[in-house]
Structure 1
């Protein structure tokens, strides 16, 4: 049995992971989905990571055997969590891949990210999510305080933990043609692929659970 620490992206909440948690728990695994302190103006990246660690300790009682999953902006937090725990695996799900000293706000230009001009957030992030579920996801959205966006990523190197990257082939926010070279350059690995939008945990939770368990 593994413990999956699930870290949402910018503007998100732990609610995003509920369908995936149901699938993982149904297969006999533990999950800890964390609400990052996004709207706390005093919380930096280390504070976000410590929040995850505290939640895991509160719910599980130890830090052994963790599978840390970071989605989107959560890619800036997940490696810091691995550095502060005894994680066995790090999975970036359509995640941002930071480099030492890089602030999240600088990542976009540094990676050559080209903004996709889609006004409708559902069409951009959740085009394959059932309409009622997508509407509920928007209601759970949150603002993001500035500190964790502008302070440098605190690690001086990538954590010494096996790392997998899972891109979403139908992602309109981080399209595959952008993600593949970014991951090769920054992680030195070939990304794995799954069908679905940027919100694949809502649109294909069963398939995503199978992929995550397959990494164990």
Structure 2
């Protein structure tokens, strides 16, 4: 969105800077369809590559990379895909952030590690129940195509990067969610984090009612237009 300022009776416009954080085993390429759409709306976009393959990097080091990437930018809206839900709030404690937008994201609480989150949030049980409802064998071998890419055009499929386990072993360092406006976008067809699970998690942990769009877990690839409409609508 454009924020309108008034200086000595003269109206000035300030563009939003969208800071797009990818999920696990991913990088800035994930956002390649979203970036030009946001820029077409007149916004700045920053897409830092997080150190997902670095075994010495936890969530605080991920946040270090983001903080370095946004130097010189203002009016920041940090958009966090999936695992980046652990990183975005840390960033918001270090630099001025106007809003956090979670996209099919993990939402941590104090004292929780990434590994613990799957059980403490109820995510694993919710995925299993959703598989049963939709006729998939909950005991099958994990298939990333079935879970992540089922609605992504095959031309956009890429080999994932390596993902270090280090962040998942590290306790989330914050005592609470930062005092920053937080919104969420959820995908109706997410097979990893079913939409009903996400709605409940966001309500209980953040008191947030999400915007729902079509698509699976990776809407920046499967439904970039819908995701951008949601982001711009949130502002």
Fold equivalence (TM over 0.5): yes
1:89 lines up with 2:99 in the alignment: yes
1:33 lines up with 2:36 in the alignment: no
2-structure distance, mates of 1:95, 1:56 = 21
1:191 offset after TM fit, Å?
2.0
Residue equivalent to 1:56: 70
1:195 lines up with 2:195 in the alignment: no
Match of 1:18 among 25, 32, 56: 32
2-structure distance, mates of 1:166, 1:207 = 10
1:56 offset after TM fit, Å?
1.6
Which structure: greater helix fraction? 1
Tell me the SS of whatever aligns to 2:97.
Answer: strand
1:147 offset after TM fit, Å?
2.1
Residue equivalent to 2:9: none
2-structure distance, mates of 1:177, 1:76 = 20
Gaps of 5+ in 2: 1-14, 129-137
Please say which of residues 28-37 and 115-124 is displaced more in the overlay. Answer: 115-124
2-structure distance, mates of 1:26, 1:188 = 32
Please say which of residues 93-102 and 172-181 is displaced more in the overlay. Answer: 172-181
Gaps of 5+ in 1: none
Residue equivalent to 1:182: 201
1:150 lines up with 2:169 in the alignment: yes
Task: Indicate conservation of the 8 Å contact 2:115/2:168, yes or no.
Answer: yes
Report the TM-score, using the length of structure 1 for normalisation. Answer: 0.92
Tell me the SS of whatever aligns to 1:86.
Answer: coil
Alpha-carbon RMSD across the aligned residues, in angstroms, is 1.3
1-structure distance, mates of 2:225, 2:40 = 10
1-structure distance, mates of 2:167, 2:43 = 31
Match of 2:186 among 144, 153, 167: 167
